[in-house]
Amino acid sequence: MRLFPPIIDNEKCPLTINNTLLQSCYLRYTEWACGVAIYTGNETKSGMSRGTAEPKLTAADSMIDKLTVAIFIFQIAVVLLLGLAGNIWKDSHGCKLWYLMYPAERPWYDFLVIPLRFELLCSIMIPISIKVTLDLAKGVYAKFIDCDDQMFDPETNTPAHSANTAISEDLGQVEYILSDKTGTLTENRMIFRRCYISGVLYGDKTGDALKDARLLNAVSSKDPDVVKFLMVMALCNTVVPIKSNDGTISYKAQSQDEEALVNAASNLNMLLTSKDSSGIAEICFNGSKFYYEVLDVLEFTSDRKRMSIVVKEVKSGKFLLLTKGADEAIFPRSCPGEQTKTYLEAVEMYSHLGLRTLCLGCRDLEEDEYKEWSKKFQDASCSLDNREHKIAEVCNSLEQGIHILGITAIEDRLQDGVPETIKLLRKAGINVWMLTGDKQTTAIQIGLLCNLITPESKGQLLSINGKTEDDILQSLERALTIMKTALERKDLAFVLDGWALEIILKRSLESFTKLAMMSRTAICCRMTPLQKAQLVGILKSSGSLTLAIGDGGNDVRMIQEANVGVGISGREGLQAARAADYSIGKFKFLRRLILVHGRYSYNRTAFISQYSFYKSLLICFIQILFSFSSGLSGTSIFNSISLMAYNVFYTSLPVMTIIFDKDISEATVLRYPQILLYSQAGRLLNRSTFAEWFGRSLYHAFVVFLITINAYADEKSDMEELSMVALSGCIWLQAFVVTLDTNSFTCPQITLIWGNFVAFYMINLILSAVPTLQMHTVMWHLCNQPSYWITMALIVAAGMGPVLALRYLRNVYRPSAIDVLQQIEQTDGHAQAPGNLESSTGTYLDYLLTDLRRNKSSIHQPLLSDSASSR
């Protein structure tokens, strides 16, 4: 091999610093800095956090940023090292070569010339095109979600929708799902089932109080306790009755509970017929009409957990306070001497049945008492300072001495597919938490029904509660101790309420965080919207990647706080869906959103990002290797047209074929959800996988350069031919690299890979026909030489042979779970393997899938923590 001396060519190798060189360096660095800033900033509208001005950064984006910084440091080191070596060679050898015409006296900045040349050569190490490529790919991922017919809900005519196109790969790395209950896990179709009035349980035998003969007889006989109970059901709400042209009455309600109670009252002859603008409500009971003037509404809040209204009976002028709410909000405010024990027993019984309970009560008011209170209420409502707190205090002062009328029990059934979906997600290694405002007993029953928690025979539910703050902290430490010692033997979960959480966040946040990171399941009841968001924040702050899903306005805070927000277009409106990154019609569609779309998106992003670095490093390493054959002068082996077209035309389209790639079928993914742990742990995009791509680019650069130099470095070849042969070798290798890493071939993929390959030759044949270009006739001359095609064959054989051999050996002797599943699919064509293969691979596959979970230690190592990048 002979050395190529430095070439005096202002285009390829300027020997003196001039304005063009400085401007070129400046533009190159500006382009790099802007590209990195744009990529890191994730500035597109789709990438912005919901409700904030801060951009969202996915786990994959974070890893790519770290790799970019590492490559930049490597680039600076290479530039400095080669620049120093180039100056040494110039002083020791170059100045003695007469044909280089170095001046005797050189300017003081002459030592910067060679390092700046190498900076220009190495500036392509960081691929600016990665931003555009990934944004385009992520846009396609979002369209796949929007167009998924299997995520279309025909009942509500609701398709899946992706409002954020920047975080699809995060779906494949979710570690915690925090879900609302009502309307998310359940249908949010409230049905009045049972009630307890004056010591009588109605509906306990038939399962439907509306068909209980005892209750119907009590209504017919106008039992005063039953009548007053039904009157509160019909009046204590914000429901608006709507009368149609045919005389039928329907109800418009913000709360499904209120609609269920009003409908139940109307079925029991207590019919709310109208509410006019003056506040007069008309009630018809057994043919008689009664009129009430609604004076004030004490609205429900998550802190008060009750709502009340003050009404005046028009006929008698009597003032009444009507109240309904949670038992813990009503019973402490009952009148002295009220026997609440039987009511508490009824509440517990209904809660064990998974029913939602409300306590109804009333109180007679004196006119003077009301007028005095009304003035305070108006003053509080008009206050500009701490208005909500003042209103709550005034309301609380009136809601005292309440006479308990009874308990209502409302059924809210689970959505179809919820138990199966939760079971699948937990099998995939995702921790599922339920955050609800319901009573603890009700939440536990729903948790059992939907496979969220395991029955006592196989699991244990740790309760964090107490009468005092110290009791709560002791139960927390006890739960943490049990979790550490018994986690491997039992499926453990913990349950706590809003009050306990408030104490814990103030006094023992660190212990609770440890417990949260160890627990795969939790039930958090009586939660306010703020507390839901706080729980999400705790998990995020520990480095875990969270997904929050809900359907109502009270879930918006939680959805916006999570890494990924999913809203259900439910019966409570579109607030959650509009605030979320993704919206779906039913909870069961979450399995496809995460296991199918999330996993595929992560796999594709991992390949696209690392391949983008690979192709840039490949061309850069060839430039560096050529510098050793040209006196370390910083001469470029490629002309400016080839370098420009390399990223724009020659290599941009083949990588986009990966957006259609599926390593295993959707059916296989859903049958073996444990495979999600590969993407969840970041095993396809980390420092180790990038090191493999880095090594591959370096090896391929050696192959292309050495074969090209030995085949064409003689007196009959010029620089343009040498450049085109090396560039052709890169294009051939990259076509085979993309083909080798593609798992499923479709017509668009084949067209993009090999159509782009053909386009490379067509473009260069056209450019070779232009007389004014330096590469005139070069490609025509090469294509007519058998040696050129032999050289390409040698490059492909030497470059891809070892890669294929290593992959074959790995698949035979150390196959991964994905490799085994691919073998099953190739043998049978489906996720279900034939008997002979199942017997030979089934045990090993089970071992691999089990090993995935075992390697995910019980003391969970978060994905987004500093240590996660090493995985």
Residues with catalytic roles? 180
Tell me if 491 is assigned to a ligand binding site. Answer: no
Tell whether residue 551 is among the known ligand binding residues.
Answer: yes
The helix/strand/coil state of 189 is coil
583 and 566 Cβ atoms separated by less than 8 Å:
yes
- In angstroms, the CA 38 to CA 64 distance is 13
Tell me how far apart the alpha carbons of residues 634 and 492 are, in angstroms, rounded to a whole number. Answer: 63
Query: Are the C-beta atoms of residues 380 and 390 closer than 8 Å to each other?
Result: yes
Side-chain half-sphere of 755: how many Cα atoms within 13 Å?
Answer: 12
Q: How far apart are CA 261 and CA 205, in angstroms?
A: 20
Residue 563 labelled as part of a binding site: no
Q: Per-residue DSSP letters for 600-642? A: HHHHHHHHHHHHHHHHHHHHHHHHHHHHTTTTTS---SS-HHH
180 is in an annotated binding site: yes
β-pairing, 249-252 vs 521-525, is unpaired
Name the helix (H) or strand (E) containing 796: helix 786-813
Query: CA–CA separation, 509 vs 503, rounded Å?
Result: 9
- Smallest CA-to-CA distance from 841 within 851, 833, 850 is with 833
DSSP E strands, 526-606:
546-550, 564-568, 582-584
Tell me if 436 is assigned to a ligand binding site: yes
The secondary structure element, H or E, covering residue 131 is helix 129-146
Q: Which two tokens stand for residue 280?
A: 């007069």
Q: Please state, in angstroms and rounded to a whole number, the distance separating the CA atoms of residues 468 and 157.
A: 49
Sequence-distant contacts of 804-807: CB under 8 A, at least 24 apart:
804/740, 807/740
Contacts of 864 (CB under 8 A, 6+ apart): 59, 62, 543, 544, 545
How many whole angstroms separate alpha carbon 489 and alpha carbon 630? 67
438 is in an annotated binding site: yes
Degrees to nearest 5, angle at CA 673 with 672 and 679: 120
d(CA 788, CA 8) in angstroms, rounded, equals 28
Query: 744 — phi, psi (to 5°)?
Result: -130, 125
Q: Token digits for 712? A: 């064409």
Distance of alpha carbon 38 from alpha carbon 127, whole angstroms: 13
Q: Are 538 and 504 in contact (CB under 8 A)?
A: no
- Structure-token pair, residue 286: 């057994």
Is 300 marked as a binding-site residue? yes
Task: Give yes or no for a contact between 166 and 58, defined as CB atoms under 8 angstroms apart.
Answer: yes
Strand 356-365 with 403-411, pairing: antiparallel
Residue 660 and residue 746 in contact, taking contact as beta carbons nearer than 8 Å: yes
Distance separating alpha carbons of residues 844 and 848, to the nearest angstrom: 6
C-alpha distances in Å from residue 725, one per residue of 13, 69, 783, 793, 801:
20, 32, 10, 12, 20
Q: Which two tokens stand for residue 808?
A: 């074959």
Whether 526 has a binding-site annotation, put simply, is yes
Spatial CA neighbour of 768 closest among 757, 784, 752, 756: 784
413 annotated as ligand-binding = no
Identity of the amino acid at 87? N
For the sheet with 459-464, list strands across it: 161-162, 582-584, 564-568, 546-550, 176-180, 431-435, 521-525, 491-497, 459-464
Is residue 554 a known part of a binding site? Answer: yes
Numbered residues of the known binding site for Mg(2+): 180, 182, 551, 555
Numbered residues of the known binding site for ATP: 180-182, 258, 300, 324, 356, 436-438, 526, 532, 554-555
Numbered residues of the known binding site: 180-182, 258, 300, 324, 356, 436-438, 526, 532, 551, 554-555
